[in-house]
Amino acid sequence: MKLLTDLKVAIFADGADIDGILEMHRNPLIKGFTTNPTLMRKAGVEDYAGFAHNLLRAISDRPISFEVFADDFDEMELQAREIASWGSNVNVKIPVTNTKGVSAGPLIRRLAREGLRMNVTALMTLQQVKTVAECLADSPSSYISVFAGRVADTGRDPVPMMAEAVAFLAAFPNLKLLWASPRELLNIFQADAIGCHVITATNDVLKKLGIVGKSLEKYSLETVQMFYSDAQKAGYKLVSRSAVLA
């Protein structure tokens, strides 16, 4: 298997816990960062802009994406311009549609022509990739985030679709395909194998980077030891039926 240092896919950290983000920032394997309103709410973030500015004071050397949270496209546009002003390493996350299912395409196209760097998010179909790519054609470097992990949650294999998306985006050198919502570390190697440009993962997935290539025999033994240790700590006991009858 490939060494982590041989991977071509860029690994981004996805989260909203400041300490966890800074921990990943110290890891040279992590090439960028993403977050979203759901992760921020889960982490207890109350001041959206304050959180972002604190993060940007600590991280100025790698790309980071912050998402708009309006549903009205006019308000979404105002938020996008504000977020874009926060730093030269900021990509503005725009959802592929609003909550009513109306395409954000016209807004994406307009912002692209104004030079905003974006990260269009929550895509799950190849057709969405094609439509968004056309809208981003005039943008500077931008990302198209396909939630491959959620696709897999529906029982569909996302790898063929992601491979097709990589091939399609070859005609758009300014755009990078981002594999979002991975469920396991293996997805990083799958993304690399098909030539996906970026994969973003939460800290619980990224913390497994340390066991990449680990001896499976050793891992098996450690698993057995863990089961035994936990049973001992719990004080579990069984009295056999034969012992009772005796």
β 90-95/118-123 pair status: parallel
Is residue 236 classed as helix, strand or coil in its secondary structure? coil
The pair of structure tokens assigned to 143 is: 């990302």
d(CA 145, CA 42): 21
- Residue closest to 34 by CA, chosen among 209, 188, 179, 242: 179
**Gap between the Cα atoms of 218 and 70, Å rounded:** 50
Residues sharing a CB contact under 8 Å with residue 189, sequence separation 6 or more, in sequence order: 1, 2, 7
Catalytic residue among 8, 93, 176, 207: 93
CA angle 237, 242, 246 (to 5 degrees): 110
Q: Which phi and psi (to 5°) does residue 88 adopt? A: -75, -15
Residue 244 burial (C-beta neighbours within 10 Å; 0-12, 13-18, 19+): exposed
**Residue 97's beta-bridge partner residues?**
103
Identify whether 93 is a catalytic site residue: yes
CA distance from start to end of the chain: 56
List the catalytic residues.
Answer: 93
